[in-house]
Amino acid sequence: MKKVLSIVIVVAMIATLALAVSSCGSTAKYKVGIIQLATHDALDAATEGFKKAVIDELGQANVEFIYQNAAGDSAQCATIVNSFVSNKVDLIMANATAALQAAANATTTIPVLGTSITDYASALGLKDFNGTVGTNVSGTSDLAPLKEQAAMVVELCPDADTVGILYCSAESNSKYQADIVAVELKAKGVQNVKIYTFADSNEIATVVTNACQECDALYIPTDNTCAECVETIFPITDEKKIPVVCGEESICKGCGVATLSISYYNIGYKTGVMAAKILKGTSKVSEMPIEYDASPVKKYIESRTKAYGIIVPETYTAIVEK
C-alpha cells in the first residue's frame, strides 16, 4: 500500500512540475521593432509613450524592444526595417512618415503601426481613404486642427499682410498641412500667403532669411526637418522679430511664439495600446482605424510674445521655458 501511495505522490509531483513548466513556457516573449526617423522632442515623446503602453499592457518581461534611429536619413529607414523583417519581429512601430513608408514597403504580413504621421492617405498614396488603411498598417496621427492653427496666426498677428509657410519639400505630410493652412489663411483675410520650401537642412538658413525679408509672420507645420533645425531658424526670425506659429510644441519651443499642439506622448501611448491588442490577438491591424489625440491645446512662449509685442488671449497656456 505504501509503495502504491509513493508512486501516486511521485506521479502527482511530476504532473505538477510539468504543468508549471508548461505554464512558464506559455508566456509569450514578443519582439517589437521600433524605427524612429530622427531625434527630437516630439518623436522621442511618442516612442516613450509607445513603450510605456506596451509594458503596461503586456509586462516588462514579455516584450523585447529593438530600437533603431535613422538619424534623419530617409534612405536608412529601408535598411532598418529590412533588418526587422529578417529578425522576424512580431510588430513594427514606425515613428514619422519616412519610417512608415519604409515599413509598409518592406512587409505585407508583419503588423505595422505608425505614429507622428499627419495624413496616412498622403503618406501611403491611398485613394478614397475612409480612416482605416485595411492592410497590415494602422496607427495614430499627429494632425492638429489646421483650420484652428490658421486662425491662431490671424488672432496673434492681426496686422500681418503677408504670411509665409515654411516646410521641407521632401516631407509629404508637411505639404498636406501647408496647402490646407494656405487656403484657410486666405479665407480669413490674409492678403498674401507665400510658400517657402527647402530640400534639406543645407538650404534652410537662406530660405528662412528670404522669408523674413518678405513676410510679417511665418507658419511651420509638423515638419521633422524644421524640428531638427530650430537652432538655425530661431536666430534669423528672432533678429527680425518675425513671429512663428508652429504645428507642434517642440518646434514652438525651438523657434516659435505659439502652437496648437497635440501630445506626442499621448499618441505614442495610444499606439502602444493598439500594439498590445494586436500582439494578444484581440484586434486585427487591418480592422483598426487611425486614432487621434482629441485634446489639442493652445500654447505660447511668454518671453517671445512679450518681446514681439503680441497680445495673447487668456485661453492660451504658457509653455515652461528652460
User: How would you write the pLDDT of the chain (322 residues) with one tens digit per residue?
Assistant: 444 444 444 444 444 444 343 334 445 699 999 999 999 999 999 999 999 999 999 999 999 999 999 999 999 999 999 999 999 999 999 999 999 999 999 999 999 999 999 999 999 999 989 999 999 999 999 998 999 999 999 999 999 999 999 999 999 889 999 999 999 999 999 999 999 999 988 999 999 999 999 999 999 999 999 999 999 999 999 999 999 999 999 999 999 999 998 999 999 999 999 999 999 999 999 999 999 998 899 999 999 999 999 999 999 999 988 7
Distance CA 93, CA 63 (A): 13
Output the pLDDT for position 254. 96
Give residue limits of the domains in the chain.
Answer: 30-142+263-289, 146-261+297-318
Domains 30-142+263-289 and 146-261+297-318 share a fold: yes
Q: Are 280 and 260 in contact (CB under 8 A)?
A: no
HSE-CB at 28 with a 13 A cutoff on CA atoms is: 11
Q: Global pTM?
A: 0.80
Level-2 CATH architecture, domain 146-261+297-318: 3-Layer(aba) Sandwich (3.40)
User: Which sign does the torsion angle of CA 186, 188, 190, 196 carry?
Assistant: negative
Output the pLDDT for position 245. 98
Level-2 CATH architecture, domain 30-142+263-289: 3-Layer(aba) Sandwich (3.40)
Beta bridge partners of 34: 67, 93
Select from 22, 43, 9 the least CA-distant residue to 249: 43
